[in-house]
Chains A and B, each alone.
Chain A
């Protein structure tokens, strides 16, 4: 009986694989300013792709990557994303991402997104700055 309890405890305490989306709304600019901690891990990638010196997070949202679900994420400044997780095959998520600003659809894309890989979307230009959306799935 003690063995059964021990086995149950081990099985129940085993970590459950739960991936989650991380969506960032970023303002890229050349104005002076320190990079936010939430962008430290992708700052180099952002600089390499967009060329700006500084990146400031305008909004950050997370949500679990559940199959056959569609979720609305409000990123602030009038920007909203709809993320539909259509499936998971070969460690790649089938994702439909719609990015809205106000009432207008900026872009709609269907992606095969592996875990820990980023998708950057270059959006509207505001003054001398650019608005960028970053999406990834974290383990």
Chain B
């Protein structure tokens, strides 16, 4: 915000400021003695004007007044009128597009976040299954077959192992150096 800008005090008193600009100008006016004085002076002037409204009286009736205005307009010849084009500073341009700028900033942040997530995913891909690179068995006539289940489970099926009726017999059998 430009320092000690009387137009901002005017805008604040007129209720033209919204959102964070209103909050910021009010905060500045509460802390800056120059702007606080400007604010009080403008407020005082407004109160004076409000307390003493201009007493305007018309000589004739309202209809007569407006008929005079209409005659005046119709009597004037048509002529081109130059409409002044306002020249906006970059600051004015930005103020007119606060919402658009916020949207652009949010979009950029979202794009950066998505890019980061994608790069993270590529750097550390999520694997659905464990991979069996090599498998072997040592007991004769046995074979180990790896496969993937429908879930995220990898299975190694060792078949051909000797059958035993209970755990005790199994431990006895497997305690031998060879079968």
Contact = CB atoms under 8 A, between A and B. Distances in A.
A122 B136 CA distance: 14
Contacts of B151: 44-45, 48
Interface string A90-106: 11100000000111111
Nearest to A42: B153
Contacts of B150: 48
Q: For chain B, which range describes its interface: under 10, 10 to 19, 20 to 34, or 35 or more residues?
A: 35 or more
Contacts of B138: 104-106, 108
Nearest to B173: A102
A118 interface: yes
Given A92-B127, A104-B179, A123 B161 contact: yes
Contacts of A119: 130, 132, 153-156
Given A109-B134, A111-B130, A124-B164, A118 B174 contact: no
Interface string B123-145: 11111111111111111001010
B161 A124 contact: yes
B164 A110 contact: no
Majority-rule SS of A interface residues:
strand
A109 B166 contact: no
Contacts of A101: 170-171, 174
B152 interface: yes
Contact of B152 (A103, A118, A124): A118
B133 to A, nearest CB: 4
Interface in B144-178: 144, 146, 149-159, 161-167, 170-171, 173-178
A108 B135 contact: yes
Contacts of A121: 155-158
A113 B173 CA distance: 32
A110 B132 contact: yes
Contacts of A109: 132-136, 144, 146, 156
A102 B178 CA distance: 11
Contacts of A114: 126-127, 130
A8 to B, nearest CB: 27
Given A107-B137, A126-B165, 15 more contacts: A48-B151, A78-B170, A78-B174, A90-B125, A102-B171, A102-B174, A103-B176, A106-B138, A107-B144, A109-B156, A112-B130, A118-B154, A125-B164, A126-B167, A127-B164
21 contacts: A44-B151, A78-B170, A78-B171, A101-B170, A102-B173, A103-B176, A103-B177, A104-B178, A106-B158, A107-B144, A109-B135, A110-B133, A110-B134, A112-B127, A113-B130, A117-B129, A117-B130, A120-B156, A121-B158, A124-B174, A125-B161
Interface of B: 123-139, 142, 144, 146, 149-159, 161-167, 170-171, 173-179
